[in-house]
Amino acid sequence: MERLNTILIGIADAVLWCRDAVVSLAVMVGHALDAIAEPVLSPLVAFVNPILTSIVDGVFAALAPLPVWCGLTLFSVLAGLLSLGVFRLCSNQVAISRALDDIKANLLALKLYKDELRVTFRCQYRIAGAIARLQWHMFRPVAVMLLPMLPLLGQLGVRYQWRPLHPGEQTQIDMIVDESAEGQGLGGLQVTLEADPAVTVETPAVPGDGKLVWRIHADRTGRHVLKFHVGDAIVEKELVVSDGFARVSPTRAKTDWTTQLLQPVEPALPETGSVRSIHIDYPSVDSWVYGSDYWIVHLFVVSMLVALVFRPIFGVRF
Amino acid sequence: MTESDDITIARRHRAVAGPRLLLAIAFVVLTLPTDAQAYIGPGAGFAVGTTLFAFFVAFFSGLAAIFLWPFRWMVRAIRGRRALAKARVERVVILGLDGMEPSLAERFMAEGKLPNLSRLARQGCYKKLGTTLPPLSPVAWSTFSTGCNPGKHNIFDFLTRDKRSYMPVLSSVKITGATRSVKIGPYRIPLGKPDIRMLRRGKPFWNVLGEHGIFSNIIRVPITFPPEPFRGTLLSAMCVPDLRGTQGTFTFYTTRSETDDDLISGETIRVKRDGPVIRSNLIGPDNSISEKPGPMTCAFHMTLGANGSATLKVSGDTHELTEGTYSPWVRVAFKAAPGIKVRGICQFLLLRKHPEVELYVTPIQIDPDSPAMPIAHPSVFSTYLSKSRGLYATLGLAEDTWALNAKLLGDDDFLHQCNQADDEREDMFFDGLEKVKRGLCVCVFDGMDRIQHMFWRYMDADHPAHDGQATTQRRDAIETLYRNMDVLVGKTMRECDDDSVLMVISDHGFNTFRRGVDLNRWLEKNGYLTLKPGGHGKKYLAGVDWSRTKAYAIGLAGIWLNIKGRESQGVVDPSEAAALRQELAEQLTGLRDDEKDCLAVSKAYNAHATYRGPYRQESPDIIVGYNNGYRISWEAAIGQPTEQVFHDNNKAWSGDHCIDPKLVPGVLFCSRKIKDERPRLMDLGATVLDLFGVAVPPNMDGRPLAVADAGAPEPAAAISESSTQAVVTS
């Protein structure tokens, strides 16, 4: 029995090791692709972000009288319909249908010929093959779908993942500086946060772990701009203080197209400056329907339901 | 740390090892797709969802199969039904070739054109197989499946008559709508399912096998609709209706103004051309839930293009049509009410575009993916076949002989239908052979019957419909068919090992059909039937004066007496019926066709003296055994009296088998030696039971044939002289 357990644990460890290896490989490939895509995508994202933000702002302004979840639901519905459109245009429906039919046929065969072990194993083998084919044929539409979905996720994230500071609330601001500046010693770099009537700076910049940390206290509602003096340069960061629903921008960073996609509100920090990123620790949104992380579930479930309902109309299978 | 601590830790370690493994697997499976689901959206979600579902079902059903198999085995053993415990074989495979004619098979074998059948005959045996009275497919295959004479299974013909209205009705199945319904607005929603009742009695031998734990795979054996539950899988065949509830109604769309509207099993719809576009409707079943009577329709429009092409839009899908080429199976949906659709499948054939547009649409058949009526057992079996091999014909008589008879389809168009149906079936058959290695596999191929019916005229120079200008392809169509079936037999033989017994059988043979006999005219001429004034030419016996009619004919098999108390307007006293039967049988036996100086009727059988069993009274009173070249006329079959007894058969339907059963025995090839010299179709069920070591039920008329065990010496001659004697089973 102990020997069996050892074998089972070994198998489990091997599975986990394989998973880690796959993830590591994916990360490596991702970095390599990033390096190639960065020069092209960064300017493109920088161009698209303000336009998209304005459009989404307009939509949310129009939906302002409605409950907060309505905007999320609307965009979830649009995401579902968009996905169907992409599938219709980009997928090999014949091959996908064939793979789905093979899966269903072999699942039915498992039921019909359940007494035949030989048939059971053969069906499992065929199901595995059909699943592999299905995943292969899904790759193209799913890859195409990334293009509209990532900016949309960015836009929804800055509205539903975090909420603005309420007047009277405290939070922390982190500034990460480049390694070159860090190498010179943070103490040598003059960094100050300019006084603003909207906030009270409770602690001065505290250095540590390659970053500077401030604690602030929100005093006045509104969309404010904090100014950081870094040596001779001034770096700005938006701060939102509000009692209601509003988009926020937790992070402003140097050019990196993926960060830019997911933090689309503010322009990237100048490439030549010493500051790599500034992060405001906004509180999470507290709601089971549209709050932090739950909004992704909401988006996913609603868009899937919409896709399911409208699938026959679009004439697609997946 | 003490020793006891070590032991405790080791125990805990063992205790958590199993759950850890499951958790690890679940973690890997569940966590990998989560990011993709969230960041890529619903498409990926469905992909992963499908994958996960399939993975889990496959994984856990595999586990269940492994763990439950010993329990299942034990349960069967305890019940004394351990499958195959007394079996002499692992598997029996029966390949039914509907209508294979022994004389043709022997001729082609002698000419070396059927090498696989010859090899099978050498390896085991070849014999003629006694068929049924009458030798009709529904009768014969019912006898095959039940092992009983028709008096016990109640199938005597395709049709029987309604005793009240004298109208022809299907003999094997009765479909009635749900009896209760609830009215909601303009709709009447039925409470319950329609009642679909099989009229064939008796128990198929695969049901008996199932009771002993033996699995069967039954594909398209006639008269299996609606499917009965048993241990195995079954796809129904002959008598499965189309979506309209008929035995196959094709539709012919044309811009021609002059057309034949009087089609049998077909409908002509005139359409108008709007530039290159033609708009019309497919005709579906009656809308049983709407207050408004009438059939449901499904709109389509066809845009004619260049070079013989056209684009068809129907039920939301677009299909490209090419002149002279069948479309693949097309799914169509008829809307019964909001959210309620009846689904079917059909094929389109653009016959010609110039000078007039002609479009043929096959009968709209039950969609096997979501069947409107039960066509398989278990019900998901039809879906399984559809998912694994694609859509397929579900109609009982899938090959449209009526459209060829009406000359709307050409020979090649018809051949395509037959070959396609056989190809679909071959796929299913070999799938069954792959899945069922222990048990029974039966599959019936109809193409042989249909092609011989329609192409015999090219082989028979004396046939009234013989076309002297026929191409070689058409003249050789039947020979090609036999060769194709021989290839199929060869493939089947390769799938059968020494533990399998392969039988290749036909339910009856075939012969030419040159002249039709109008039995109603003969009865009229001899004073047994009286017509009302102007009664000639009226269908379904509408012109008969029942008050002065003792006997009448409808259907293919024979003659009915108009008996008091049985028929609604009966005049024959039941006490006189036996004598009248005898009198009619004697008068009809030896009936001659003076114009051709030929014997037309070999023997007329007094059915009540021939059959045994509780349903003997339901049979026609006289079964007519025609001579070679004769059969009941087309008119008499539909109860339409004419003014002459004998008619030339000018139709494409030129071969037949509804004659004296002694003249059209079937064939039996077996991979093992069979000692009996006169095997009968009804013996095969009992033989299979015997091979599997299952006792033959006492009510079966068939008796087990003496099949040699594997490795027994080969017979000296493949075709014995004595086997040329045909036997009638009834």
Predicted confidence (pLDDT) per residue in B562-608, tens digit: 999 999 999 999 999 999 999 999 999 999 999 999 999 999 999 99
Cβ distance B380 to A108 less than 8 Å, yes or no, reads: yes
Measured in degrees and rounded to the nearest 5, phi and psi for residue B170 equal -65, 135
pLDDT band at B714 (very low <50, low <70, confident <90, very high): very low
Within a domain: residue B298? yes
Q: How far is B6 from chain A (nearest CA, A)?
A: 14
Q: How far apart are CA B249 and CA B105, in angstroms?
A: 33
Choose the mutation target among B11, B35, B50, B383 for the interface with A, i.e. most A CBs under 10 Å: B50
Q: Which residues pair with residue B274 across a beta bridge? A: B277
Predicted confidence (pLDDT) per residue in A143-196, tens digit: 888 888 888 889 999 999 999 999 999 999 999 987 665 545 455 678 889 888
With beta carbons under 8 A apart, name residues in chain B contacting A12: 20-21, 24-25
User: Which among A172, A165, A176, A169 has a CA at the least distance from the CA of A215?
Assistant: A172
Beta carbons within 8 Å of B485's beta carbon, 6+ residues apart? B97, B100, B445, B448
Predicted confidence (pLDDT) per residue in B43-96, tens digit: 566 666 666 677 777 777 777 777 787 887 777 667 656 667 889 999 999 999
Within a domain: residue B268? yes
Choose the mutation target among A1, A3, A4, A5 for the interface with B, i.e. most B CBs under 10 Å: A5
Q: What pLDDT shows up at residue B640? A: 96
Range with lowest mean pLDDT among A42-51, A211-220, B79-88, B283-292: B79-88
Q: What pLDDT shows up at residue B141? A: 97
Q: Which residue has the tokens 């058959």?
A: B429
Give the count of beta carbons closer than 10 Å to the beta carbon of residue B7. Answer: 10
Tell me what the mean pLDDT of segment B676-703 comes to.
96
Q: Please classify residue B328 by burial: count the beta carbons closer than 10 Å to its beta carbon, then call 0-12 exposed, 13-18 middle and 19+ buried.
A: exposed
Contacts of B179-184 with CB under 8 Å at 24 or more apart are: B181/B289, B183/B291
Task: Please indicate whether residue B267 or residue B44 has the higher confidence score (pLDDT).
Answer: B267
Q: What pLDDT shows up at residue B614? A: 96
Is it the case that residue B13 has pLDDT exceeding 60? no
Cβ distance B24 to A134 less than 8 Å, yes or no, reads: no
Residues B502 and B528 in one domain: no
Q: How far is A184 from chain B (nearest CA, A)?
A: 39
Q: Count CA atoms within 13 Å of residue B36 on its CB side.
A: 20
According to DSSP, residue A274 is labeled S
Cβ distance B66 to A117 less than 8 Å, yes or no, reads: yes
Residues B549 and B581 in one domain: yes
With beta carbons under 8 A apart, name residues in chain A contacting B435: 109, 112-113, 116, 119
Assess contact for B375 and B403: CB atoms under 8 A.
Answer: no
Which of A105, A110, A312 comes nearest B388 by C-beta? Answer: A105
Tell me what the mean pLDDT of segment B512-518 comes to.
97
Cβ distance A112 to B14 less than 8 Å, yes or no, reads: no
Beta carbons within 8 Å of A244's beta carbon, 6+ residues apart? A164
Is it the case that residue B6 has pLDDT exceeding 60? no
Tell me what the mean pLDDT of segment B280-290 comes to.
90
Cβ distance A5 to B62 less than 8 Å, yes or no, reads: no
Angle between helices B447-459 and B411-435 (to 10 degrees): 150
Q: How far is A14 from chain B (nearest CA, A)?
A: 10
Residues B366 and B404 in one domain: no
Q: Which two tokens stand for residue B151?
A: 């008096």
Cβ distance A307 to B25 less than 8 Å, yes or no, reads: no
Residues B26 and B97 in one domain: no
Q: How far apart are CA A299 and CA A315, in angstroms?
A: 22
Q: How far apart are CA B515 and CA B211, in angstroms?
A: 48
With beta carbons under 8 A apart, name residues in chain A contacting B378: 111-112
Measured in degrees and rounded to the nearest 5, phi and psi for residue A136 equal -60, -45
Assess contact for A250 and A140: CB atoms under 8 A.
Answer: no
Within a domain: residue B595? yes
Q: What pLDDT shows up at residue B564? A: 96
Q: What pLDDT shows up at residue B84? A: 76
Tell me what the mean pLDDT of segment B348-367 comes to.
94
Q: Which domain holds residue B254?
A: 248-372
ipTM: 0.85
Q: Which two tokens stand for residue B78?
A: 């305890």
Q: How far is A55 from chain B (nearest CA, A)?
A: 21
User: Which among A46, A89, A93 has a CA at the least distance from the CA of A318?
Assistant: A93
Range with lowest mean pLDDT among A34-43, B514-523, B639-648: A34-43
Is it the case that residue B730 has pLDDT exceeding 50? no
Assess contact for B530 and B490: CB atoms under 8 A.
Answer: no
With beta carbons under 8 A apart, name residues in chain A contacting B50: 100, 103, 134, 318
Residues B506 and B517 in one domain: no
Give the count of beta carbons closer than 10 Å to the beta carbon of residue B208. Answer: 23
Position B436, amino acid:
V
With beta carbons under 8 A apart, name residues in chain B contacting A89: none
Which of A103, A118, A145 comes nearest B40 by C-beta? Answer: A145
With beta carbons under 8 A apart, name residues in chain B contacting A109: 384, 388, 435
Q: What pLDDT shows up at residue B31? A: 42
Range with lowest mean pLDDT among A1-5, A167-171, A299-303, B213-217: A1-5
With beta carbons under 8 A apart, name residues in chain A contacting B38: 296, 300
What is chain A's alpha carbon radius of gyration, rounded to the nearest angstrom?
Answer: 25
Q: How far is A189 from chain B (nearest CA, A)?
A: 39
Q: How far apart are CA B232 and CA B217, in angstroms?
A: 6
With beta carbons under 8 A apart, name residues in chain B contacting A103: 50, 54
Assess contact for B580 and B176: CB atoms under 8 A.
Answer: no
Within a domain: residue B8? no
Is it the case that residue B349 has pLDDT exceeding 80? yes
Q: How far is A77 from chain B (nearest CA, A)?
A: 11
Tell me what the mean pLDDT of segment A44-49 comes to.
90
Which of A135, A304, A315 comes nearest B42 by C-beta? Answer: A304
Q: What pLDDT shows up at residue A36? A: 80
Q: How far apart are CA B263 and CA B246, in angstroms?
A: 14
Assess contact for B342 and B195: CB atoms under 8 A.
Answer: no
Beta carbons within 8 Å of A58's beta carbon, 6+ residues apart? none
With beta carbons under 8 A apart, name residues in chain A contacting B45: 300, 303-304
Segment holding B687, helix H or strand E: helix B683-691
Residues B106 and B139 in one domain: yes
Q: Which parts of A189-274 are beta strand (E)?
A: 191-193, 199-208, 211-218, 222-230, 233-241, 251-253
Which of B13, B62, B317 comes nearest A124 by C-beta? Answer: B62
Q: How far apart are CA B231 and CA A139, in angstroms?
A: 42
Nearest CA in chain A to B16: A5
Nearest CA in chain B to A90: B43
Cβ distance A303 to B66 less than 8 Å, yes or no, reads: no
Residues B521 and B617 in one domain: yes
Predicted confidence (pLDDT) per residue in B125-179, tens digit: 999 999 999 999 999 999 999 999 999 999 999 999 999 999 999 999 998 877 7
Cβ distance B59 to A124 less than 8 Å, yes or no, reads: yes
Q: Which residue has the tokens 């009296």?
A: B641
Which of B37, B43, B436 comes nearest A87 by C-beta? Answer: B43
User: Which among B255, B253, B214 has a CA at the least distance from the CA of B232?
Assistant: B214
Beta carbons within 8 Å of B492's beta carbon, 6+ residues apart? B93, B95, B429, B433, B502, B504
Q: Which two tokens stand for residue B579?
A: 């004598």
A to B CB pairs, distance under 8 Å: 158
Per DSSP, the three-state class of B666 is strand
With beta carbons under 8 A apart, name residues in chain B contacting A117: 65-66, 69
What is chain B's alpha carbon radius of gyration, rounded to the nearest angstrom?
Answer: 29
Q: In chain B, what percentage of residues exceed pLDDT 70?
A: 89
Within a domain: residue B284? yes
Which of A105, A123, A296 comes nearest B387 by C-beta? Answer: A105
Q: Could you give the angle at the alpha carbon of A284 between the alpha carbons of A280 and A289, nearest 5°?
A: 150
Cβ distance A9 to B20 less than 8 Å, yes or no, reads: yes
Q: What pLDDT shows up at residue B668? A: 98
Task: Please indicate whether residue B28 or residue A47 has the higher confidence score (pLDDT).
Answer: A47
Range with lowest mean pLDDT among A4-13, B243-252, B494-503, B716-725: B716-725
Residues B527 and B412 in one domain: no
Q: How far is B678 from chain A (nearest CA, A)?
A: 37
Q: What pLDDT shows up at residue B390? A: 94
Cβ distance A86 to B43 less than 8 Å, yes or no, reads: yes
Assess contact for B394 and B446: CB atoms under 8 A.
Answer: no
Beta carbons within 8 Å of A12's beta carbon, 6+ residues apart? B20, B21, B24, B25
User: Which among B218, B225, B239, B226 has a CA at the least distance from the CA of B136?
Assistant: B239
Kindly give the pairing relationship between strand B187-191 and strand B168-170.
unpaired
Please provide the average confidence, as pLDDT, over all residues in chain B. Answer: 88
Q: What pLDDT shows up at residue A254? A: 86
Beta carbons within 8 Å of A113's beta carbon, 6+ residues apart? A119, A120, A123, B435, B436
Give the count of beta carbons closer than 10 Å to the beta carbon of residue A56. Answer: 21
Within a domain: residue B350? yes
Is it the case that residue B33 has pLDDT exceeding 60? no
Residues B471 and B517 in one domain: no
Q: Which two tokens stand for residue B137?
A: 């497919």
Cβ distance B58 to A100 less than 8 Å, yes or no, reads: no
Is it the case that residue B16 has pLDDT exceeding 70? no
Q: How far apart are CA A234 and CA B644, in angstroms?
A: 113
According to DSSP, residue B623 is labeled E
Give the count of beta carbons closer than 10 Å to the beta carbon of residue A305. Answer: 14
Q: What pLDDT shows up at residue B576? A: 96
Residues B492 and B532 in one domain: no
Is it the case that residue B42 has pLDDT exceeding 70? no
Q: How far apart are CA B396 and CA B239, in angstroms?
A: 5
Nearest CA in chain B to A298: B38
Residues B57 and B138 in one domain: no
Is it the case that residue B610 has pLDDT exceeding 90? yes
Cβ distance B65 to A149 less than 8 Å, yes or no, reads: no
Is it the case that residue B205 has pLDDT exceeding 50? yes
Which of B14, B28, B44 comes nearest A15 by C-beta? Answer: B28
Within a domain: residue B454? yes
Within a domain: residue B551? yes
Alpha carbon distances (Å) from A308 to A75, A88, A153, A311, A317: 16, 14, 21, 5, 9
Cβ distance B45 to A1 less than 8 Å, yes or no, reads: no
Q: How far is B290 from chain A (nearest CA, A)?
A: 25
Cβ distance A86 to B58 less than 8 Å, yes or no, reads: no
Element counts in chain B: helices (H) and strands (E): 18, 36
Q: How far apart are CA A79 and CA A64, in angstroms?
A: 20
Position B526, amino acid:
N
DSSP for B468-534, please give it: TT--HHHHTHHHHHHHHHHHHHHHHHHH--TTEEEEEE-S---EEEEEEE-HHHHHHHTTS--BPTT
With beta carbons under 8 A apart, name residues in chain A contacting B380: 108, 111-112
Cβ distance A115 to B72 less than 8 Å, yes or no, reads: yes
Which of B38, B50, B62 comes nearest A300 by C-beta? Answer: B38
Overall domain count for chain B: 4
Predicted confidence (pLDDT) per residue in B383-433, tens digit: 999 999 999 999 999 999 999 988 899 999 999 999 999 999 999 999 999
DSSP for A135-155, please give it: HHHHHHHHHHHHHHHHHHHHH
